[in-house]
Structure 1
Amino acid sequence: MAILDYSSDIWREALGIGEGEEPAALILEGTWWRETATENRLGKLTDVKELAFPEMYSGLYGDVPVVYCCAYGAARAVEPAHVFAQMGTPLLIQLGTCGTLDVDASTGQVILPEVCAARDGVSQYYGAADTVRTDPAWVERAEQVLHSFDRQTQRAYHLTWPSLFAQSDEMCDGWAAEGLLSIDMETSAVVAVADRFGSAAVSMLSVWDALPHGRTFLDPLEPEDLKRLKDSNELIFDAALLLAQEVQQNRSI
């Protein structure tokens, strides 16, 4: 049997997760710096253990069960998203950095994708159309939490693209002309998986690359910009944990 035809029972047996034991949220993060990110994120959880599938970690935020996985690119991100969404995990949260096509966006601003152009190369196999939508209620809550942290946010018509490197100036100009404001490599694929299996999905992305200004990750940031980026990367994880806490509270009502 091909994997897309598996039942959720296969995943439950493989991971030893019974009915009703699903995490409140799966938190995914797309970054090259997997080891550092994983160490930092898991440091905020207790009772951490690596699951039977590598680099997928369960832990507790207070009494809230969550799973964290550092998964770079759509092809990798859909794997944990598929497993946990099919098992009934209520909320999938995508974190990471993004490039902006907005000439006025500042480094460290948090992008909240609302509509995503699904050009990641994977989404269509989960039934996605040209665009997918994150969950409006969770976008609203994420924005409220980030504002409580005094963090600037921007809702966006967003693009998920399969490669960080396969982006030319001509492509970026075309995307800006479409009204796209930001680019990452995971969000639309995670949303497509969530839609297929009935989970909700939200994405919080810190602005790094400023494409209208020709700035990529290779260009050093000014100290104040670097601080804003680092702060945002911490705050979006804190926000994700608070969203997971709300899921858990809603479960007990």
Structure 2
Amino acid sequence: MTNFRSILEVTASEWLDGLQLSENEIPDCVIVEGSWWRHERQTWRLNYLSEVRELGFPDLFWGRWQDKKVVFCMAYGAARAVEVIYMFSLLGTGLSVQIGTCGGLQPELKPGDIVIPDEVVSEDGVGHLFGRGATTSATAESVAQAARALVERGRTVHVGKHVTFSSLFAETVEMMESWHTEGFLAVDMEAATTLSVAEHFDRSAVALLVVWDELTRGRRFLDPMTDEELQALNQGNKDVFEVALELVAAQPDQTDANSKSV
């Protein structure tokens, strides 16, 4: 005799208990970042927040930005991103922001440029399970707001079609050529899942991705960069997090928002 229970049946109250989080601490926004440089990025990002504490599950950090509640997590790949976005979207978090780097698939994209996908195709093995098919969309208002803020900071911003794939180590030249021909701006490993899961719960979501790899030139992250390119990359990584916090500041207070099944 079996008695299977899907993790999808776990209630919001059970997640709150596991997270060691009270209902009035449900965050206004969750920011996730995919990077190999976990410790460096995590330390950098958390320095912006006050009252920081790690929640009941590892690598989930709760803190405050001005009068807003924020959860930050280093989440590399779709398999990890889905866990974070699912939990907090279920709890009622109104906005999810994906940050990180991406590989440029069009020749006009340069290191430090920012890609803000308005439409993402899921080839990551996860996103299509939650969205309305293989394609998902970012929240238009958040895309516009983020683009304006980044342009004001002097960043070159590209808004358009994007693809999320499962692994750097499975990408082939043929895939990249196909994505390029189809008009995708860039490729990453998390954005489709973050947007799809948020959309599944009718939450807002946006991805702010810094161009690192220039794939049309055959330049990957292992290849050297000029000092100017490195400076642009570092500034882009700084700006996307700060703009994510600006988006948080514009969110309605989550304390009085309705959450599902709490």
TM-score by length of 2: 0.93
Deviation at 1:224, TM superposition (A): 0.2
1:127-206 maps to which residues of 2 (within 5 A)? 127-206=131-210
Partner secondary structure for residue 165 of structure 1: helix
Letter of the 2:229 partner, please give it: D
Aligned residue number for residue 4 of structure 1: 8
Amino acid at match of 1:160: T
The answer as to 2:43 corresponding to 1:32 is no
Residue 60 of structure 2 is matched in structure 1 by 56
Q: Percent identity?
A: 38
Cα distance in structure 2, aligned partners of 1:56 and 1:165: 27
1:230 aligns with 2:259: no
Q: CA deviation at 1:20?
A: 4.2
Is the 2:100–2:208 Cα contact (8 Å) retained in structure 1? yes
**Pair 1:219 & 2:223 matched:** yes
Match of 1:13, SS state, is helix
Q: Give the AA of the match of 2:251.
A: V
Equivalent residue for 2:125, pick from 111, 121, 130: 121
Q: How far apart are residue 128 of structure 1 and its match? A: 3.7
Tell me if the contact between 1:24 and 1:245 (Cα under 8 Å) persists in the aligned partners: no
**Cα distance in 1 for residues equivalent to 2:28 and 2:124:** 26
**Distance of 1:49 and 1:141 partners within structure 2:** 29
Tell me by how many angstroms 1:176 deviates: 1.0
Counterpart-to-counterpart distance in 2, 1:104 and 1:202:
22
Please state whether the residue corresponding to 1:230 is helix, strand or coil: helix
Partner of 2:260: none
Letter paired with 2:198: A
Provide, for residues 146-190 of structure 1, a one-character-per-residue CA deviation record: whole Å limited to 9, x for no partner.
112121100020000000121111111111111111000000011
SS at match of 1:176: helix
Distance 2:129 2:173 in 1: 29
Matches of 1:14 and 1:250 in 2, distance apart? 20
Deviation at 1:248, TM superposition (A): 3.9
- Following TM superposition, by how much is the alpha carbon of 1:21 offset from its aligned partner in structure 2, in angstroms? 2.9
Q: What's the Cα RMSD here? A: 1.6
For the 8 Å contact 1:156–1:182, the answer to whether it is kept is no
Deviation, 1:124, is: 2.6
CA drift of 1:17 comes to 2.9
Cα-to-partner distance string for 1:59-94 (whole Å, 9 max, x where unaligned): 111221100000000001111111101000000000
Query: Which residue, 110, 129, 133 being the options, matches 1:106?
Result: 110
Q: 1:88 aligns with which of 92, 101, 115?
A: 92
Paired residues, what number?
A: 253
Matched, 1:42 2:39: no
Amino acid at match of 1:24: D
2:87 aligned partner, one-letter code: V
Query: C-alpha displacement at 1:251, in angstroms?
Result: 7.9
CA distance in 2, matches of 1:190, 1:250: 19
C-alpha distance in structure 1 between counterparts of 2:132 and 2:101, whole Å: 23
Change (3 A) 1:198 1:20: farther
Give the alignment of 1:8-19 within 5 angstroms: 8-19=12-23
Q: Is the 2:26–2:254 contact (alpha carbons within 8 Å) kept by the matching residues of 1? A: no
Distance 1:125 1:211 in 2: 28
Unaligned runs of 5+ in 2: 257-262
State the alpha-carbon separation in 1 of the partners of residues 91 and 254 from structure 2.
18
CA 1:127–1:224 in structure 2 vs 1: closer, same or farther (change >3 Å)? closer
- Establish whether residue 71 from structure 1 lines up as the match of residue 65 from structure 2: no
